[in-house]
Amino acid sequence: MTLIISKDGKDARRLNPTQIDKEDYLQQYIYDNPDAVPVYEIDEDIRLLILAREFGTASGPIDALGIDQHGDIYLIETKLYKNPDKRTVVAQVLDYGASLWRSSIDFNDFTLQLDKHVAKQFNASLIEKLQEFFDLDDNATDSLLDNMKSNLAGGTFKFVVLMDNLERRLKDLILFVNRNSQFDVYAVELEYYKHQDFEIIIPKLYGAEIKKEVTGTRISQRTLTVEEFWGGLAGNVPAEQFDALKSLIENLISKADEVRTGTKSIGLVFNKFTDNKPLFGFYTAGSVSLNFGHIIQQEKKELLQSLLKKYLPEVWKIPKFQR
């Protein structure tokens, strides 16, 4: 594409695309300007926040990790067209997703890592940045974090390949993967122009049109009913495990002060221990969280530990529950 630039309709001049020399520039640009990743073309309501650059995994660092207001996790890999590895970029970003899923089962460790990145970039905590950027109250923040936890546990990520120039074979590969799998893989081509002190970026998204054909437009992030939660859980765990979990959850529900359902989870509030925040989280993927961080008073933590040790001796043997 060629751009024409002028001032007050005079002295028009032609601008040709400017070459981007360093991948680091792309990474920093989308960190500072997340709208340059046009996920709003998937759904116009989506807002993307880039939380980390060079987020570590066992397979290597993810160039950028982002989150939207629904708790969807975006893994972004940047490549320049001149890079000889560009043909393997889709496999690379999928490999990072597999590594993150396998190595970050503990959601607390995952959020601690994010918290360090956010503090360095924004001089704020992860919670503060999420609430400020998405304009969330405490309950909405808890729901977003619950969805993040469920997506991490299930390895449900959105993959984005971002380049200065996309070749036809890469576009075809992404369309093929999206049509024939449950992966969400998107490619973004950033056309870059520079004039004096001004930069012009024209982002183009590929892959979203196929997802809309296959799945329709994005289903609204409504919360589950309890019966829908049981159905989702039954589809993800063996029958014996499902029976045991259902018995445990129903017993806890009968004693809880409040039951909160998310898009993929159930949260149980016990006001004796927490101030209007879920103490337990159960997820359709089959994972369980015990949110000790929501308990402020040390004596209440010790009381809960003694109750777990007494009534759930097998659970108590898990080291993380002894913290």
Residue by residue, what is the 3-state secondary structure of 85-99?
HHHHHHHHHHHHHHH
Between residues 86 and 68, the one the model is more confident about: 68
The residue behind tokens 């039951």 is 259
Rounded Cα–Cα distance for residues 3 and 13 (Å): 8
Burial of 89 (0-12, 13-18, 19+ CB in 10 A): buried
pLDDT of residue 210: 67
β-sheet bridge partners, residue 269: 258, 278
**64 neighbors 52 (Cβ within 8 angstroms):** yes
Do 225 and 257 form a contact (C-beta atoms < 8 A)? no
Q: How far is CA 295 from CA 31, 271, 274, 306, in A?
A: 34, 10, 5, 14
Alpha-carbon gap, residue 253 to 244, rounded angstroms = 14
Task: Concatenate the DSSP letters of all residues of 245-278 into one string.
Answer: HHHHHHHHHHH-SEEEE-SSEEEEE-TTTSSSSE
Contact 31, 64 (CB under 8 A): yes
- Mean of pLDDT over the chain: 81
Please report the pLDDT score of residue 74 as a whole number.
Answer: 95
pLDDT value at 23 more than 70: yes
Question: If pLDDT is split at 50, 70 and 90, which confidence band does 128 have?
Answer: very high
Q: What is the pLDDT of residues 207-230, one digit of tens each?
A: 887 655 554 434 345 567 888 889
Q: Which amino acid is at 15?
A: L
Is pLDDT of 56 > 50?
Answer: yes
3-class state of residue 209 by DSSP: helix
- Measured CA distances, 307 to 5, 253, 268, 282 (Å): 71, 16, 16, 19
CA 91 to chain CA centroid, nearest Å: 19
Q: What percent of the chain has pLDDT over 70?
A: 85
| Of the candidates 87, 35, 90, the residue with the CA atom closest to the CA atom of residue 66 | 35
- 261 φ, ψ (degrees, to nearest 5): -100, 140
In the β-sheet with 278-283, what is the strand arrangement from edge to edge? 258-261, 265-269, 278-283, 288-290
3-state DSSP helix/strand/coil percent for the chain, to nearest 5?
A: 45, 25, 30
Q: Is the pLDDT of residue 66 over 90?
A: yes
∠ Cα 140 224 129 (to 5°): 20
Q: For residue range 166-184, what is the model confidence (pLDDT) as tens digits?
A: 888 888 888 888 888 778 8
In this structure, CATH architecture of domain 12-215: 3-Layer(aba) Sandwich (3.40)
Which residues in the chain are classed under CATH 3.40.1350.10?
Answer: 12-215
Best CA proximity match to 69, nearest among 149, 175, 148: 148
Residues in the chain, how many?
323
